[in-house]
Structure 1
Amino acid sequence: MIASDRPPNDPVGLRDEAEAWLLRLTSGAATERDAAAFRQWCLQSTAHAVTFAEVNLLWDRSHAAARNIASVGAQRAVAAQHASSGRRLGRRAFLGSAVAASAAAAMVVYPPLRLWPSLPELTADYRTTIGEQRRIAIADDTSVNLNIQSSLSIRSTGGDEAVELVAGEAAVLTQSPVRPFVVIAGDGRTIASRAHFNVRHDRSDVCVTCLDGEVRVEQGGNVATLRQRQQVLYGSRGLDEVVTVDPVVVTAWQEGMLVFRNESLDRVIEEVNRYRPGKIVLMNRRLGRRSVEASFQIDRLDDIIALVRDAYDAKVTRLPGGIVLLS
C-alpha cells in the first residue's frame, strides 16, 4: 500500500504518490491487490485521479526521448561491432543492439497502462496505429488485413511463408496450393493452406478463429484443428478446448464496427480501449460485471461512455489525454 504522512491533497505529496503508483504498476510485479488499492487511491478525490493522469502524460511524452537516447546508444554499439567484425548488421540486429545499448529503452518495452506500443511492436515490419487498418499482400495467393494497433513481422520457417503477429489482430486469407502459410503468435503458431482465419494476440493470450476452410493450431506440443466457425485460445495455461463462435462478432472490426453479445462491461471497456486514444478506466467493480448487448461504430466509440452514464447512472470524469474515469 502506498501512503503518505503529508496533508490530504497536498500537491507535492500527491505527485510523489502518483509517481510511486506508476512505478509499481509498471514494475512487472504488480498484483490484483495492487490494482484494487490503486483504484481506491484514485477514488479518494478528483485531485488524486488528475495528478496520476498528469504523471502518466509526462511519462508518455518522455518515451519518445527515451527511444532517441536508445537509438544513439545503438548507433555507437553497431559502429563498434561493425568495426570489430567487418560485416554489416541487418535491420533486426541493429534494433537488437538498440535494446541492449540503453536502459532507457526499458521505458518503451514496459509502457505504463499500455498507453503506447512496446519496443517489439514499434520495430515490427508493419504496424498500425489507432484508427488505422491496413491490407498487406504477402504473396499472390495470401493477404493479411491488419487491425488497429497491430504489429506484424515477416518470418522464415524452414521454407514456408510465415509472419509473426507481434501484437494486435489480423485476418488472413490464403489460397496457396503448394505450401502452407504460417502465423506465429506468442508461443504457438497457426498453419493453413486454403483458409480464411482471424488471429488475435493480446500479449498474454492468443485467439484463433477459423472463418472458412481448415487451420491447424500448434502450441507446446498440443494441436487443435479448426473448421468454419470454430475458435481456440492458448497462452501460459496451454491450449484450450475448441469452441463454436459467432463469426459476425469476430469479423465486425473489418466493417468498422464492434459487436458485443452478452459481454461484461469490464470486457467491453477493455476492447474499446484498443480502438480509442487515451484510456477509459472503470472504477466500479460491481458495474464492471454488468452485461452488455450492443454494437458501436469504431469511429464513434465515445458512445459507450454515454451508454454507461445513462443506462447505469455512472459518474463520468474526463481527464487530459483522453482518459475517462467511470464510477
Structure 2
Amino acid sequence: MAVEREQDVLRAASMYYLQDLKMEVIARHLGTSRSTVSRLIKRARQTGLVEITLRPGSTRAPGLARTISAAYGIDAYVVPVPDSASHIDRLDQVSITAARLLSSWFDSDMVLGVAWGTTLAAVSRYLSPKPTRGSTVVQLNGAANMRTSGVEYASDLISSFGSAFGAAVHHFSVPAFFDYPETKRAMWRERSVQRVLDMQRRADIAVFSVGAVAGAVPSHVYSAGYLDEDDVRLLHAEGVVGDVCTVFIRADGSWQDVHLNERATGPTPAELARIPRRLCVVAGDNKVVPLLAALRAGVVTDLVVDEVTATELLDAVEPTHRRPRPRR
C-alpha cells in the first residue's frame, strides 16, 4: 500500500471512529466514493490500526488480569466470556485475542517459535495477513507419534503461521518423543537438527499452550497416540499434571527429573525462558492446574486466558502463592 493510501486509511478511520462522521461525509472530505471509504475502514481494522473492544459492565476481566499480572510478574490478558460459555466459545474468544496480539508484536526480521496443539490450531485460524520481510517461523517440538506420523498435522499448523506473516518456515522433523534417550542424544548431534535448534534459540517470541493430563477435554498429546499406557502410568506416578511444548511438569513447576523428559523433543522450561517474549494461550477448566504449574515454572511472560479459567486459576492458588514474583 502506498504512503498516500496509508494516510487515507488513517484519515478515514479517524473521521469514522473519533469524529463520528458518516461514510458519505467522509467520502466528500476525501474526494472518493462511499464504497472506497468502507474499504478503508475495513483495512484499518484488519491491520490493527483500529481495535474494537467491548467492555461489559459486569465483567471481572480487568481486575482478574491485574491480580494475575501482579502475582506472577507477567502481562495478563483476560478475555471476557459469560460463565455459561461453552469450551469452544471460550477457545475461540481467546484465540482471536492471541492472534491479534501476535500480529501486533511480530514483524520483519523476527523469529517466531510455535508449539503445535489444539489451542494453537485455533489461534492460526484467526491470524490476519501481515506481510513481513526476513522473518521466520520455527516449530518448537517434534510431532511424529506411534499411531500416525503426526507430521502433517503439525506441518500444516506451522505453515499457516508462516503464510499469515509471509515468513520462512522451519519444520522440526523429529518425533514428539524418542523411544530411547540415547537416540535423542544422537539425533541432537545431526547438523539438520542442530540448524532447527539454533533457529529456536534465536526466537524473539514463543507461542504455546499447556497440555492437561486429566480432564473432560484431553489435550492432543494425551489423546492422539503420543504416549502408551505405561508412559501415562509413569507420568501419574511422578506427579505430572501437564506439559509445556511436550515437556512434562509437576504442579510445583518442577520438570528436571521427570523421566519422560529425557525423550521429549520440545524446549525445556529453562530453554524456553531464554526467549524474550513467551505467550501462553489457555482456555478450559482442565487447563487450570497445568497453567498454574507453568506459571510457577516461570515460562510465561504474556498470558491470554478466558475469564472463567482465570477465575478458577485464582481460586486454586493458596494466598502464599499470590505474592508477586520477578518477571523473567
- TM-score normalised by L of structure 1: 0.30
Greater fraction of residues in strand: 1
Work out which structure has the larger RCO, using CA pairs closer than 8 Å and 6 or more positions apart in sequence: 2
More helix by proportion, 1 or 2?
2
